[in-house]
Amino acid sequence: MSNNVAEAVIGGVVLAVAASFFVFAGRTGGLGRGEESYMLSASFRSVEGISIGTDVRLAGIKIGSVTGLELDPETFRAQADFLVKRDLQLPEDSDVKISSEGLLGGNFIEITPGASDFMLEPGDEFINTQGSIDLLNLLMRFGGGQ
């Protein structure tokens, strides 16, 4: 009988640790933060290297994440939707580009604030965008002399 009680206690501890891990992962991963963020979007020539969940950064600090990517069939441009912290107001003339962490690192969306007195509202779209740069293609052009 004492063996069953010990197993039950250990099982309860394992379940408590697992639950606390999921709560921690949800909070640090941005889950459940819909009320603390607002949606913005941007249209890019190419979104190569980013996917849903990719970081959105300002001054190197994560301020949000990509929530959707789709192709606009009329313009053939990629539409990226992302959540940004609600307490962060961004000028409407801000620049958005897809940046790389280095040759071997991943890509992220980088926002450079503008100087406008008018701020973006939830659901607005950035006008000034720069898509990802294909480094391999760039190196091949440089090496080939084109």
Cα Rg of the chain, angstroms: 21
| Chain segment 79-135, per-residue pLDDT in tens | 999 999 999 999 999 999 998 887 677 889 999 999 999 999 999 999 988 877 766
Predicted local confidence at residue 32, as pLDDT: 47
What is the rounded distance in angstroms from the CA atom of residue 93 to the CA atom of residue 126?
8
d(CA 85, CA 80): 16
Bridge partners (DSSP) listed for residue 9? none
| pLDDT band at residue 7 using 50, 70 and 90 as cut-offs | confident
- Which H helix or E strand runs over 142? helix 135-144
Residue 38: pLDDT band by 50, 70, 90 thresholds? very high
The ranges assigned to domains in the chain are 1-32, 35-144
The whole-number pLDDT of residue 31 equals 46
